[in-house]
Amino acid sequence: MKNSISQIKKALIEKKISVGELYDEYLAKAKSGNNNSFNLVIDRENNISSINDSQNRYNNGNPLPLDGIPLGIKDLFCTKGIRTTASSKILSNFIPNYESFVTQQLLNDGSIFIGKNNCDEFAMGSSNETSYFGPVINPWKNKNSQNDNLVPGGSSGGSAAAVAEGSCVASMGTDTGGSIRQPASLCGIVGLKPTFGSCSRWGIVAFASSLDQAGPLTNCVEDAAYVLNSINKHDFNDSTSSNHQREDYLVDINNNFEKKIKIGIPSDYLEDVSDDILNQIDNTKKALSKHGIEFVDVKFKTTEYALSTYYILAPAEASSNLARYDGIRYGVREDGESLDDIYLNSRTKGFGDEVTRRILIGAYVLSAGYYDAYYRQAQKVRRLIKNDFQRILNEVDFILTPTTPNEAFKIGDKLDPISMYKNDIYTVPTSLAGLPGISIPSGLSKNGLPLGVQFIGNYFEEKSLLQLAALAEKELSFNE
């Protein structure tokens, strides 16, 4: 088992290790890693004052909540003075002059950034193969074909791989349709997508504004609570940031529930799935039943529409969000004879195929004559999906689903976009509803690869969701 944040903090408090030694240990792993999980590693000299300040706080006996903890940051968060690329050629030279709200909270709480994690270009992808900086390799190997390099999932594939390979204690990811939960599942770690509106989007390179949400990828559920405590705050500069009262997610995390808990399992999610996946649900059910938790069958009416709804709405927003990358003010510019040529050349050469595909889909579904049939219709269906979840969450406390329909696959295996999109079939509905979801490792496949299950809770109920995940985690822990 890797060390958890609380274990590391204990070692730092007890002076068994210094902040600098801890940082060096992780930095060395990040630098020597073979999985391409970082687009950029931050050298010691650039972190030296943070390291010293952190050590001083430990020496003075007043460490901050995440003091000295080495974190990876998905290369989608703008970090002041540190190159931020969204894993795209078009931003490959971009150094922001501002710090995203979420990463600022993490810095305020004493954490130290190891580097910027690789990800799918503009977070568009489910295998981390669309990155301009090349694919990320899953640290796990199929025991039946050890030589194959597997995908870590995506889009936060670099974050998931980095945590799994031990080159950072935790990593900040973003989730639009499953980009935290799916790679967490394929890399055997914990991934939490909070309720939409929990964590500010300010300073995160936007993909689909109505869906994007920051969240942690961690080794254990308790670590997710540590990070969530730091980043889950109201931000006046994000109009969609909720200003509800936040809780301390660490309190009660290791306690059993006081009330009787009922969990719904949507049987329609489990049609046509492999035994590997069914086993995950069964294992989880067994493990939690021991604690007196009740399981009931629930049925969604909208599941079959979720993926197509998502692949209309997310590209529509993306086509507009990515319009600012025009080569005029920042980023890579390709020259041309006319203004139109500059736009055309910069964007054609600056964006990869998947991003181009989604921009085109988005522009299409928003264009005159198609808007009503696609965009408006998809918005209506999204409302129905939300209602569907609300209906079920009125009957049960949580919903249990697989996180992914399959284990990690070989790099280059899923070239057809539609089969790639289907990877997110269990995570996309939650994103459309804006609900929180957490993926935890639940077991290994026949090939010895990690798989996860997803728990979905009600809006802003992260506290009990983490409590449930922690309970399940105790029962489901597997050996690497």
Question: Is the Cβ of residue 193 or residue 201 nearer to another protein in the bound state?
Answer: 201
Cβ at position 239, least distance to another protein in Å: 5
Rg (C-alpha) for the chain, rounded Å, is 21
Q: How far is CA 151 from CA 136, 330, 355, 427, 441, in A?
A: 7, 31, 19, 18, 17
List the catalytic residue out of 155, 346, 431, 445. Answer: 155
> Annotated catalytic, 171?
no
Cβ at position 366, least distance to another protein in Å: 4
Cα 284 to Cα 452: distance, rounded to the nearest angstrom: 10
Cβ at position 347, least distance to another protein in Å: 9
> Annotated catalytic, 100?
no
List the catalytic residue out of 179, 346, 431, 464. Answer: 179
Cβ at position 204, least distance to another protein in Å: 5
Cα 273 to Cα 294: distance, rounded to the nearest angstrom: 23
> Annotated catalytic, 179?
yes
330 CB-contact burial (10 Å; exposed 0-12 / middle 13-18 / buried 19+): middle
Question: Is the Cβ of residue 147 or residue 338 nearer to another protein in the bound state?
Answer: 338
List the catalytic residue out of 74, 116, 193, 414. Answer: 74
Question: Is the Cβ of residue 342 or residue 384 nearer to another protein in the bound state?
Answer: 342
Question: Is the Cβ of residue 78 or residue 449 nearer to another protein in the bound state?
Answer: 78
Question: Is the Cβ of residue 251 or residue 339 nearer to another protein in the bound state?
Answer: 339
Cβ at position 306, least distance to another protein in Å: 18
* Six token digits for residue 301: 């009416």
Cα 72 to Cα 88: distance, rounded to the nearest angstrom: 18
Cα 78 to Cα 76: distance, rounded to the nearest angstrom: 6
Cβ at position 432, least distance to another protein in Å: 13
Question: Is the Cβ of residue 93 or residue 145 nearer to another protein in the bound state?
Answer: 93
Question: Is the Cβ of residue 155 or residue 185 nearer to another protein in the bound state?
Answer: 155
Cβ at position 344, least distance to another protein in Å: 10
Cα 127 to Cα 137: distance, rounded to the nearest angstrom: 9
Cβ at position 83, least distance to another protein in Å: 12
**Chain positions contacting another protein, by CB under 8 A:** 77-78, 84, 86, 91, 94, 96-98, 100, 201-206, 208-210, 236-240, 316-317, 319-320, 322-324, 326, 328-330, 339, 343, 363, 366-368, 371, 375
Question: Is the Cβ of residue 77 or residue 305 nearer to another protein in the bound state?
Answer: 77
Q: Which residues are catalytic?
A: 74, 155, 179
